[in-house]
Structure 1
Amino acid sequence: MKCRNIVNSKIGNYKIFSHRLSLTKIFFLKNFLSVYICVYLWLKIFFFFSVFYIVLLLSGCAGLRKEENIPVDIHEKGVVTQEVTPKRAKNSENERWKKAAALFNNGFQLIKDDPISAIALYNEGITLAPDRWEAYYNLGIIYMKLQNMEKAKNELLKSLKYKAPPAMVYNALGIMHISMEKNREAIDYFKKALSFEKLPVVMINIANLYQSMGQVEESIKYYHQLESTDTLNLPLHHYNIGVLMYKMGDFKNAHEAFKTAEVTEGENIQLLFYQAQTLLKLGEYEAALKIYQRIVDKDSSDPTPYKNMGIIYEIYFRDMAKAFESYTAYIEKGGEKTKDIESWIEMVKVRMAKKEGQ
């Protein structure tokens, strides 16, 4: 339609002034216009197909940048390696990418058992796809496992040049510096990671580090920040908060944290021991005794709860028979027969004898 309008407009213009021209000029003009219109139409057609070809070419190149999401394999302490999934080949460039992805994935599979071969495969893959941040990041993690910290740091920082998630990279650098016993530098890297993204694993790492350094309040601050995240099933942070509160002498809040940990993180012997000890500190002796009984029900071979039950029966309930039963069970289960235990048993026997003599 557009071409047809162009022809009509040209002929219309010709009709307006044709009566002023001689027959010779009219003949010449008609031929000129015919040639002009034909050339114009061919140029339009050439332009259209040229643009169409360029669009196709560019869309194919852009497809190389649109690799599918890469599945993540989570390792301890939040060190993450990225597994690359090859996609269908569309052209020679995608064939090159497919070969690189195969090398990366083969390297990924060897990280744990054969890190040296994994490094070789990653480096070969980089020659085909040098702009994949996952490759440099994974090389950094491998070198970290091999204790080559200088190369690990170089590869991790190199991954940032190819748009690696900064929080992941700085978290890995923080863990690397912990292994080098450079805790202050590790804290700086963890804080830098959190400035980019509030990753729960980074909060746990920095909280654990502060806890190991004896900086309890800082540790609790980062554990509490976990509660503002949307991530479910966060590992052991309520339990850790409870332990820190217990060490600070805040037994009420410690008890609340342990109760929450039991619901969200599951029951375990260590958690039950802390619950019982916290209840003792709060003067809730009967509740503490029930917790110790739960420990015995879960593992009757452990002598420790029997000793603690004996103390509660003797000191707080004045039930010497139950105390004697608990102390002797402690010895029978393999508990250490110290002078203290022997004296406690003798004291209980004396009190039992006095009670019988009354």
Structure 2
Amino acid sequence: MALLRFYLPQRYHRPVIRTLRRFRTTWAKNSGDWKWLEGRPVSLANLNRSLWRGSNPSLNYYTLLFLSGVISALGLLAGSAATIIGAMIVAPLMGPITGIAFAVSMNNRRLLKRSGMSLLTGAVLTVLTAYLICETLGLTTLNPEITARTRPTLIDLAIALAAGSAGAFAKTRRDVADALPGVAIAVALVPPLSVVGIGIAMSSRSVTVGSTLLFLTNLAGIILSGGLVFVWQQYGSLNRARRGLIASSLLLTILGIPLGLSLRKLVVEEQSRTQISHLVRDYMLTFQGTDIQSLSVESDPDRLIVDLAIAAPRDTFSESQIRQARQFLAAELDRPVELNVRVFPVREFSVPAE
């Protein structure tokens, strides 16, 4: 107000001041939840009690987790994204993991043991449930919903860090508790465990290892970011949380190596796929005029593996043409290329209406 009196002519002082006061009063009456500066965290006793209950390895906990595991396994085997999302919401695993993050910030060994035991037994139950369901149904096909959880990257780590921060912050505020289901969906704890069980049932080492890596990435990311948020909200201190945060950071550093390599491989494959698709459709006379059904690229350390599926009549291509196409791709990409072409015979029938 003093600045206004200094810069404005005197005849404008009162109208401007009245307008500003009216605006401030209107804003205060209608701002509602936007008064974030007035939001106060829950008390330490209430938060500790809530997380202690959420980490309780009770019959209710295992019942919900078992049902969530059933929904998740069936959704994965059926390739149903909506069903998998339902399993994420039902799963109670976020409780003990958030309890571990809080125990780290407070150096609370009792809560750490309780939450750790609930998490470990719950993870084993989920894996076992998926294994038994897969063995019973006898399905051996890996659909996109399963394979999507076998190649984690640094992107998944970033999601876990953000979700862990959101989950911990939601626990400290009564008015944002509704965000917890969204956090459970974002970080997806149960589906990776279900994929572990499916991988064991199918005797697929790559599926088992990849999904285990994804779960460990989510777990370590939530614990680290959640612990930091609890410390930031003045639950515990950096001195108390030092050991736990160092352990989580060390685990994330170790996990970051394969995650970074996986992300690099994913980027290379996507860039190569875009370039190869452009070359095949626009510059290679061999494939012009054909119906390209699918194009996939896999990057190995010493080569690119290109799988091309084409719908065309029989004897459209010869082996020499495919060899020339491979040489052209290798020259353009400046990298060894293995080209696999599958041709689906096309037979068309046209029956006129009677």
- Tell whether the structures are fold-level matches, with TM greater than 0.5: no
* Higher RCO (C-alpha under 8 Å, 6+ residues apart): 2
Higher helix residue share: 1
| TM-score, structure 1 normalization | 0.21
- In proportion to residue count, which structure has more strand? 2
Give TM-score, length-normalised by structure 2: 0.21
